[in-house]
A and B are shown apart, each in its own frame.
Chain A
Amino acid sequence: QKEVEQDPGPLSVPEGAIVSLNCTYSNSAFQYFMWYRQYSRKGPELLMYTYSSGNKEDGRFTAQVDKSSKYISLFIRDSQPSDSATYLCAMRGIQGAQKLVFGQGTRLTINP
């Protein structure tokens, strides 16, 4: 079993839709959770960073962590064609701050 599971998609939605991206994980030691966005021919860039359970909002993006279910989500409101990218979840424990464990990535396309 992979430590982090993420549906690779592809996911295609119309512009303006609410997008929900998810990851599940098996290691209960994970405490820090990240979402990276990777455009084609670019490296990943950090989008959201959360600690432990709860919600964090930044503009049109909301990150949600449910540690009891070992489930994290990224919601994108009012999605735009510029949001088309691959979204990677990543996480780590309190120890090993430099050893991120990534999901496979979900490829998202927003259609105008």
Chain B
Amino acid sequence: ETGVTQTPRHLVMGMTNKKSLKCEQHLGHNAMYWYKQSAKKPLELMFVYNFKEQTENNSVPSRFSPECPNSSHLFLHLHTLQPEDSALYLCASSQDPGQGGTDTQYFGPGTRLTVL
């Protein structure tokens, strides 16, 4: 595997379900991100992790719970979601700009989430 991978690619869940999205980066980066991409809206940054520590939570509802066990893996745990949470969830990674690296973000293909 190369680049940034995400699983599953598609997910349909009910409002009472609990599911998790997984992201893995194979680029040796130390920063990882979750974005939400909804139809007719710009990409919205949700969370940022640097060296496994959460450094940004962009006022995301608590029904979204991120986890970053190491610099290569990022999860987004979902529970009691609403239909308006249906969107494409994108993971990205980069070097930590604070460590002198380039800040170019590399994106995965996304998980298309549908909440019924």
A4-B42, A102-B43 are known contacts. Are A97 and B103 too (CB-CB below 8 A)? Answer: yes
> Are the C-beta atoms of A43 and B4 separated by less than 8 Å?
yes
Task: Identify which of A10-18, A44-52, A58-66, A69-77 touches chain B.
Answer: A44-52
> Are the C-beta atoms of B97 and A97 separated by less than 8 Å?
yes
Give which listed residue, B45, B50, B106, contacts A100 with CB less than 8 A: B45
Proximity string of chain B (96-115) to chain A, C-beta cutoff 8 Å, 1 when within and 0 when not:
01100001111111100000
Inter-chain contacts of A41 with B (CB < 8 A): 109
Residue of A nearest to B88 (CB): A43
Give the residue among A4, A44, A90 with the most B Cβ atoms within 10 A. A44
Inter-chain contacts of A43 with B (CB < 8 A): 4, 90, 92, 107-110
A43-B90, A44-B107 are known contacts. Are A104 and B4 too (CB-CB below 8 A)? Answer: no
B31 interface residue per 8 A CB criterion = yes
Give which listed residue, A45, A99, A104, A105, contacts B45 with CB less than 8 A: A99
Place the interface of chain A in its size category.
20 to 34
Inter-chain contacts of B105 with A (CB < 8 A): 46, 98, 100
Give which listed residue, B42, B50, B92, B104, contacts A105 with CB less than 8 A: B42
Proximity string of chain A (67-108) to chain B, C-beta cutoff 8 Å, 1 when within and 0 when not:
000000000000000000000101000000111111111000
Give the residue among B48, B90, B103, B104 with the most A Cβ atoms within 10 A. B103
> Are the C-beta atoms of A98 and B4 separated by less than 8 Å?
no
A98-B48, A99-B56 are known contacts. Are A46 and B104 too (CB-CB below 8 A)? Answer: yes
**8 CB < 8 A contacts A-B:** A8-B40, A43-B92, A46-B104, A98-B56, A99-B56, A102-B43, A103-B42, A104-B41
Give the 3 A-B residue pairs with the shortest CB-CB distance, closest first.
A43-B107, A97-B97, A102-B43
